[in-house]
């Protein structure tokens, strides 16, 4: 039996995720924006929360930890580099570590850039990656702490995962991300098709996450910064990939 994935809308535009293994009864939460919808999702399924994985220190990803610990006896895992600004950790993680989720392993990838200390979790067996505010649907997180070069190298680690990997990101920003993407690459048919399907999903109030990495590679301008025709379109023919990424990120900040 594969792990069951539940996407939980929280706050105005955040997502938390549950992973559940039926055979062992194990349940892991990825990020903790808001306790009530997470506890409701657990209760509706009769699941007991065992483990909370945190991607980064921003309050909209960790603020429900105290309320969840009051209601469950879950362990809390997050980045060693962020231990001083995360809730108390049962276990501190660094790139290369792995975490058991039922019968599977989640591998820790350092994806610093949005913050320094942001980690992602990759489950090769289920082809899932929890990327929060690093790689997002149609976009990437704003660079609050890291340099463009650091975020570019983080995105390259995610871009190298198998294309069928489902990217589980932290926010419902896809509509505005894709509107920006179309300003960079208006004639990309895959992007136009994605804009249409995202519009349908949002009209029905459905989440636009998770999304396949293959779709991100075909439509996300931040992953496409290395392509010669993208560099040409932003007037940076001779730029390095990281320089092209930096220009696209700067344009998005003003979009
Ligand atoms: Zn954040
Ligand atoms: Fe966030």
Domain boundaries, the chain: 4-253
Describe the crossing of helices 189-203 and 174-184 by its angle, rounded to 10 degrees.
Answer: 160
Distance 142 CA to ligand 2 centre (A): 10
The predicted pLDDT at position 170 comes to: 98
Distance 60 CA to ligand 1 centre (A): 7
Please give the share of the chain, as a percent, with pLDDT higher than 90.
99
Whether residue 1 has pLDDT greater than 80: no
Distance 126 CA to ligand 2 centre (A): 24
Q: What is the rounded average pLDDT of the residues 11-15?
A: 98
The ligand that comes nearest to the alpha carbon of residue 146 is 1
The predicted pLDDT at position 154 comes to: 98
- For residue range 38-84, list pLDDT tens digits in order: 999 999 999 999 999 999 999 999 999 999 999 999 999 999 999 99
Instruction: Compute the distance between CA of residue 23 and CA of residue 143 in angstroms, rounded to an integer.
Output: 40
Instruction: Compute the distance between CA of residue 73 and CA of residue 156 in angstroms, rounded to an integer.
Output: 36
CATH 3.30.70.270 holds for 4-253: no
pLDDT band of residue 132 (cuts 50, 70, 90) is very high
The pTM score is 0.98
Backbone angles phi, psi at 106, to 5 degrees: -105, 125
Non-local (6+) Cβ contacts of 123 within 8 A are: 3, 19, 101, 104, 105, 106, 107, 129
Tokens 């809308």, residue located: 9
């Amino acid at each position: 039996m594969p792990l069951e994935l539940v996407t939980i809308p929280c706050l105005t535009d955040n997502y938390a995720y549950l992973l559940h293994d039926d055979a062992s009864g194990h349940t892991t939460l990825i990020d903790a924006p808001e306790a009530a919808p997470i506890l409701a999702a657990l209760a509706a399924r009769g699941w007991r929360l065992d483990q909370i994985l945190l991607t980064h220190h921003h309050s909209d990803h960790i603020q429900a930890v105290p309320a969840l610990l009051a209601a469950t006896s879950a362990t809390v895992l997050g980045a060693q580099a962020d231990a001083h600004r995360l809730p108390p950790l049962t276990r501190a993680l660094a790139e290369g570590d792995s975490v058991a989720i039922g019968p599977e392993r989640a591998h820790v990838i350092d994806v610093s850039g949005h913050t320094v200390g942001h980690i992602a979790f990759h489950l090769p067996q289920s082809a899932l990656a929890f990327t929060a505010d690093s790689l997002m649907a149609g976009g990437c997180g704003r660079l609050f702490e890291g340099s463009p070069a650091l975020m570019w190298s983080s995105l390259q680690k995610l871009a190298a995962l198998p294309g069928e990997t489902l990217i589980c990101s932290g926010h419902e920003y896809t509509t505005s991300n894709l509107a920006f993407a179309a300003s960079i690459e208006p004639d990309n048919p895959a992007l136009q098709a994605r804009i249409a399907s995202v519009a349908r999903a949002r009209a029905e109030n459905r989440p636009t996450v998770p999304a396949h990495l293959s779709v991100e590679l075909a439509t996300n301008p931040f992953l496409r910064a290395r392509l010669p025709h993208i560099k040409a379109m932003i007037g940076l023919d001779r730029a390095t990939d990281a320089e092209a990424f930096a220009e696209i990120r700067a344009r998005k900040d003003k979009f």
